[in-house]
Amino acid sequence: MKPFHRQSGSLMSDQVRCSDLAEEFGTPLYVYNRRAIEQAWQEFATALQDSSHLICYAVKANSNLAILDTLARLGSGFDIVSLGELKRVLAAGGKPEKIVFSGVGKNTREMAAALEAGIRCFNVESVSELERLAEVASAHGVTAPVSLRINPDVDAQTHPYISTGLKENKFGINMGDALQAYRRAQELSSIDVQGIDCHIGSQLTTLEPYADAVALLVGMIDTLSAEGIHLSHIDVGGGQGIRYSADDESLDVQAWARCVQSAIGERDLQILVEPGRYIVGQAGILMTRVEYLKSNEDRHFAVVDAAMNDLIRPALYSAWQEIEEVETLEREARVYDVVGPICESADFLGKQRTLSIAENDLLCVRSSGAYAFVMSSNYNTRPRAAEVMVEGEKFFLVRSREETEALFAQEFLLP
Ligand code: LLP
């Protein structure tokens, strides 16, 4: 069963009527479905079952503790990019030995905390970072487990803002500099060279970029091996795309796994993967209430109570996410621009959508489990939305709506 489906015209998540959640918790409201998160994670586990592997959920996609808790209970690993994410994962019961730490700008404090926690691996993105990590590890009297992130210079064929594997991007170490970087890593006594990694972009829907990138990494592994540098894992990053609109295809995880496995062949390597969006994207919706309907000669507008501060993907990437009525009611169908209350023209959730709505009706924005709440802000001093997790006939508040006063409680008047 899909995580969100219709029953007699009502949008349901499992056995829970979504409009009841809006009544109880108010809007804007994020609703997640636990089973959908578990199923998406299991798809990776099944696809990789014949290989030694570790699924490291990319925490940045949605870092709510309840989601991390759900995944930790499945035995998931985690891909983090900050001290904050490290603390969240540990607070949710994630195992340090299953955490990999990505990101181009890890600072000394973050390195020290991750070493102290005993994480699985640092995905190092430059020689400068490597030198810094060696110093921090040495000062703490430990060795740092390291993978070097290679920039394979392949085109992920996705939105430029979420494409990361091209030379022009800030990420990773260029292929041409990789051998030198590994030699340097090998010299540093507080560095334990374990792996190689890449992440070429997000929302990938074809296999070719993966095949190209993994082939390049495997070539590097063989070169290193000939030099006596033996790696024990290959981390192929995340990026598996989901279906935002009927025209999209999601990535076939089984086919993706076969593609990675065949590039690796018989080599004795553990496969690490860092999916974010694929695990949580379809498992969430954003619910919003229509405040006003207004029209000019050109357009009809539905002014709703969610805004770009709640969901910035449409404004930032021109992302298209399905918008639909939460209850199917007798209304005239019209084509609307669905806009928020923020004073910017970029404040829209969707444009030119056919909807049958009246003021005070509820709408939902689909595929809002990933890069949605986590990218929300307090712009216009708007409290961030509440979040709810549905499980069968039960539901749990997993983040309460922010209080307005709390938004400026850390600010001070002048003396
Ligand atoms: N690993 C690394 C090193 C990453 O940088 C990312 C995402 C992932 C894994 C997870 O990628 P995923 O499986 O979720 O595609 N805010 C954008 C997406 C940014 C992705 C950044 N890196 C959006 O809303 O589309």
**Three-state DSSP state, 182:** helix
Identify which of 37, 173, 202, 248 to mutate to test ligand 1's pocket (most ligand atoms within 8 A of the CB): 202
Round to whole Å and give the CA distance between 394 and 372: 23
Centre of ligand 1 to C-alpha 360, Å, is 35
**Adjacent-strand bridge partners of 16:** 13
pLDDT tens across 326-372, in order?
Answer: 999 999 999 999 999 999 999 999 999 999 999 999 999 999 999 99
Which ligand 1 atom minimizes the distance to the CA of 281?
14
pLDDT for 169 equals 79
Q: Tell me if 347 sits within 8 A of 307, measured CB to CB.
A: yes
DSSP one-letter code for 379: G
Residues 6 or more apart in contact with residue 399 via CB below 8 angstroms: 64, 373, 386, 387
Which ligand 1 atom minimizes the distance to the CA of 159?
25
Which ligand 1 atom minimizes the distance to the CA of 203?
15
pLDDT for 206 equals 95
Identify which of 60, 67, 71 to mutate to test ligand 1's pocket (most ligand atoms within 8 A of the CB): 60
Q: Which two tokens stand for residue 143?
A: 């060795």
Instruction: Identify the residue whose C-alpha is closest to ligand 1 atom 9.
Output: 238
Which ligand 1 atom minimizes the distance to the CA of 239?
15
Residues 6 or more apart in contact with residue 235 via CB below 8 angstroms: 56, 100, 121, 123, 147, 195, 196, 197, 198, 271, 272, 273, 274
Instruction: Identify the residue whose C-alpha is closest to ligand 1 atom 6.
Output: 238
Round to whole Å and give the CA distance between 19 and 389: 14
Q: Which two tokens stand for residue 206?
A: 């074809």
Centre of ligand 1 to C-alpha 236, Å, is 13
**Adjacent-strand bridge partners of 381:** none
Centre of ligand 1 to C-alpha 84, Å, is 17
**Three-state DSSP state, 361:** coil
DSSP one-letter code for 1: -
Centre of ligand 1 to C-alpha 46, Å, is 22
Residues 6 or more apart in contact with residue 31 via CB below 8 angstroms: 13, 18, 21, 284, 285, 287, 387, 388, 389, 390
Centre of ligand 1 to C-alpha 346, Å, is 23
- The residues that are catalytic are 343
pLDDT for 167 equals 72
Round to whole Å and give the CA distance between 244 and 168: 27
Centre of ligand 1 to C-alpha 201, Å, is 7
Positive/negative CA dihedral, 254, 159, 236, 179:
positive
**Three-state DSSP state, 244:** coil
Positive/negative CA dihedral, 168, 170, 176, 177:
positive
Round to whole Å and give the CA distance between 186 and 130: 11
Give which of 107, 102, 67, 106 is closest to 88, Cα–Cα: 67
Centre of ligand 1 to C-alpha 368, Å, is 14
| Rounded (10°) CA dihedral 324, 325, 328, 334 | -80
Centre of ligand 1 to C-alpha 197, Å, is 14
pLDDT for 159 equals 66
Residues with CB under 6 A from ligand 1: 58, 61, 79, 102, 162, 199, 202-203, 237-240, 274-278, 313, 317, 370-371
Which ligand 1 atom minimizes the distance to the CA of 238?
13
Give which of 26, 6, 40, 32 is closest to 243, Cα–Cα: 40
pTM (two decimals): 0.97
DSSP one-letter code for 31: E
Residues 6 or more apart in contact with residue 303 via CB below 8 angstroms: 290, 291, 292, 293, 294, 339, 340, 341
Identify which of 124, 273, 274, 349 to mutate to test ligand 1's pocket (most ligand atoms within 8 A of the CB): 274
Which ligand 1 atom minimizes the distance to the CA of 274?
9
Give the domains, in start order, of the chain with CATH numbers: 4-32+281-408 (2.40.37.10), 34-278 (3.20.20.10)
Q: Tell me if 44 sits within 8 A of 24, measured CB to CB.
A: no
**Adjacent-strand bridge partners of 101:** 80, 122
Sites in the chain below the pLDDT cut of 50: none
Give which of 47, 46, 54 is closest to 233, Cα–Cα: 54
Buried b (16+ CB within 10 A) or exposed e, 111-134: bbbbbebebbbbbbbbeebbebbb
